[in-house]
């Protein structure tokens, strides 16, 4: 028996959330005394592959078929389930990323396994009955989910666990999967890159702005602050609805839910629908000229002031601090 962890990459470099998943899988493997096998699909740089041993994988399995160059839900789910069966993995771990959300239920169905998606904690185990914690009701509650049976698939929320180092002397071996025509029935014609330089769902710092910025012409200073901090940019719904920013940046109940270490909200009122997607951030800083803005109620730090005066000062201060 073993734990299999699927590790996602972008353009041949493993995502931070993938490293978190390997480290999580290692901790699960240690709890149940089982080896950890990591699975990489597609073309990945050699140095990236070797680095996986740092996070606790005992063996790395690589699948590098030409048909699997681009991420495909059906095909990737089939390959992961096939490899899990071949290495006797009762537990499959992956990141609850966009791609992870698409494939975790498919893998669980293929393996006849329980699905724990959106996990934010290590499992508690009592024989074949495991429980995990996950956020519920737009981050307003923590749910405890019970995973019964001999097999389970756990999708870990990005940024919820550290990618801790557990160095191993990892071996690497390649695997040739049996793909069926049905697995390859989706064809990706084109990939359009989002504007965010730092991936928003995975970002440790998010600089987010709302209608208080008055118009798209004023976003240069939001982007500059994000650049100085190595942050991703986000926005409120009306901002993306008005076309000031791309929809991919819209956070909240009807947009992305994010869990960064630091969320900086500029000129955003803090409506309940916005908070639904950001309140799980570890530290929230609010900049708003209205001292009565609801966002201040959930802020760890608040700056009452005009964004157009505060932002240039913050940018200067962070630049000085960095130098």
Give the residue among 62, 54, 44, 86 at the shortest CA–CA distance from 6. 62
**CB of 207 closer than 8 Å to CB of 234:** yes
Residue of 121, 211, 219, 228 that binds ligand FAD (CB under 6 A): 211
Q: Which residues contact 189 (CB under 8 A, 6 or more apart)?
A: none
The distance of closest approach from Cβ of residue 292 to ligand FAD in the complex, given in angstroms and rounded to an integer, is: 8
Residue of 112, 185, 195, 273 that binds ligand FAD (CB under 6 A): 273
> What are the phi and psi torsion angles at 311 (to 5°)?
-60, -50
Site residues for ligand FAD, window 234-253 (CB under 6 A)? 236-239, 252-253
Q: Which residue has the tokens 């690589």?
A: 62
For the purposes of burial, counting CB atoms within 10 Å of the CB of 65, is it exposed (0-12), middle (13-18) or buried (19 or more)?
Answer: middle
Site residues for ligand FAD, window 122-161 (CB under 6 A)? none
Torsion angle of C-alpha atoms 221, 227, 228, 234, degrees rounded to 10: 70
Residue of 184, 228, 271, 298 that binds ligand FAD (CB under 6 A): 271
The distance of closest approach from Cβ of residue 275 to ligand FAD in the complex, given in angstroms and rounded to an integer, is: 9
Whole-number Å distance between alpha carbons of 109 and 66: 26
The distance of closest approach from Cβ of residue 252 to ligand FAD in the complex, given in angstroms and rounded to an integer, is: 2
**CB of 89 closer than 8 Å to CB of 4:** yes
Nearer CB in complex with ligand FAD: 86/254: 254
- Asked if 201 interacts with ligand FAD (CB under 6 A), we say no
Torsion angle of C-alpha atoms 149, 152, 156, 160, degrees rounded to 10: 30
The distance of closest approach from Cβ of residue 196 to ligand FAD in the complex, given in angstroms and rounded to an integer, is: 17
Site residues for ligand FAD, window 298-317 (CB under 6 A)? 306-308
- Asked if 274 interacts with ligand FAD (CB under 6 A), we say yes
- Asked if 289 interacts with ligand FAD (CB under 6 A), we say yes
Structure tokens at 116: 């724990």
**CB of 223 closer than 8 Å to CB of 195:** no
How many chain residues interact with ligand FAD (CB under 6 A)? Answer: 26
Binding residues for FAD: 211, 267-274, 288
The distance of closest approach from Cβ of residue 316 to ligand FAD in the complex, given in angstroms and rounded to an integer, is: 17
Encoded one letter per residue, x for contact with ligand FAD by CB under 6 A and - for no contact, window 13-32 reads: --------------------
Nearer CB in complex with ligand FAD: 161/266: 266
Nearer CB in complex with ligand FAD: 123/270: 270
CA angle, corner 147, sides to 143 and 150, nearest 5? 170
Q: Could you write out the three-class secondary structure of 67-108?
A: HHCCCCHHHHHHHHHHHHHHCCEEEEEEECCHHHHHHHHHHH
- Asked if 65 interacts with ligand FAD (CB under 6 A), we say no
Residue of 268, 299, 314, 315 that binds ligand FAD (CB under 6 A): 268
The distance of closest approach from Cβ of residue 208 to ligand FAD in the complex, given in angstroms and rounded to an integer, is: 9
Instruction: Decide the pairing of beta strands 13-14 and 9-10.
Output: antiparallel
The distance of closest approach from Cβ of residue 266 to ligand FAD in the complex, given in angstroms and rounded to an integer, is: 7
The distance of closest approach from Cβ of residue 70 to ligand FAD in the complex, given in angstroms and rounded to an integer, is: 29
Nearer CB in complex with ligand FAD: 116/255: 255
Dihedral sign (CA 78, 83, 88, 94): negative
Q: Which residue has the tokens 């405890």?
A: 144
Q: How far, in whole angstroms, is CA 210 from its chain's centroid? A: 23
- Where on the chain is the footprint of ligand FAD (CB under 6 A)? 210-212, 236-239, 252-255, 267-269, 271, 273-274, 277, 287-290, 293, 306-308
């Amino acid at each position: 028996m073993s734990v299999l962890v699927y590790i996602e990459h972008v353009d041949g470099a493993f995502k931070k959330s993938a490293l978190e998943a390997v480290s999580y899988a290692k901790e699960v493997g240690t709890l149940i005394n089982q080896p950890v096998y990591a699975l990489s699909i597609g073309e990945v740089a050699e140095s990236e592959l070797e680095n996986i041993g740092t996070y606790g994988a005992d063996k790395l399995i690589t699948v590098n078929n030409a048909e699997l160059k681009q991420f495909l839900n059906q095909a990737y789910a089939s390959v992961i389930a096939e490899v899990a069966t071949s290495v006797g993995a009762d537990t499959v771990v992956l990141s609850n990323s966009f791609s992870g959300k698409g494939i975790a239920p498919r893998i669980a169905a293929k393996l006849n396994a329980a699905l724990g998606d959106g996990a934010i904690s290590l499992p508690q185990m009592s024989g074949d009955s495991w429980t995990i914690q996950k956020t519920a009701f737009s981050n307003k509650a923590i749910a405890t989910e019970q995973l019964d049976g001999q097999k389970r698939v756990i999708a870990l929320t990005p940024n919820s666990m550290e990618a801790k180092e557990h160095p191993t002397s990892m071996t690497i071996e390649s695997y040739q999967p049996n793909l069926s025509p049905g697995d390859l029935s989706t064809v990706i014609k084109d990939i359009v890159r989002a504007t965010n330089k730092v991936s928003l769902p995975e970002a440790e710092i998010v600089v987010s702005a709302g209608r208080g910025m008055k118009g798209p012409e004023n976003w240069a200073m939001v982007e500059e602050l994000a650049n100085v901090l190595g942050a991703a940019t986000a926005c409120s719904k009306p901002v993306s609805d008005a076309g000031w920013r791309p929809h991919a940046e819209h956070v909240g109940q009807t947009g992305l839910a994010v869990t960064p270490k630091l969320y900086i909200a500029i000129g955003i009122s803090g409506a309940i629908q916005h908070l639904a997607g950001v309140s799980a951030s570890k530290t929230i800083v609010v900049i708003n000229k209205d001292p009565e803005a609801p966002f201040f109620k959930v802020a760890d730090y608040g700056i009452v002031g005009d964004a157009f005066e505060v932002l240039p000062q913050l940018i200067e201060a962070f630049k000085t601090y960095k130098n």
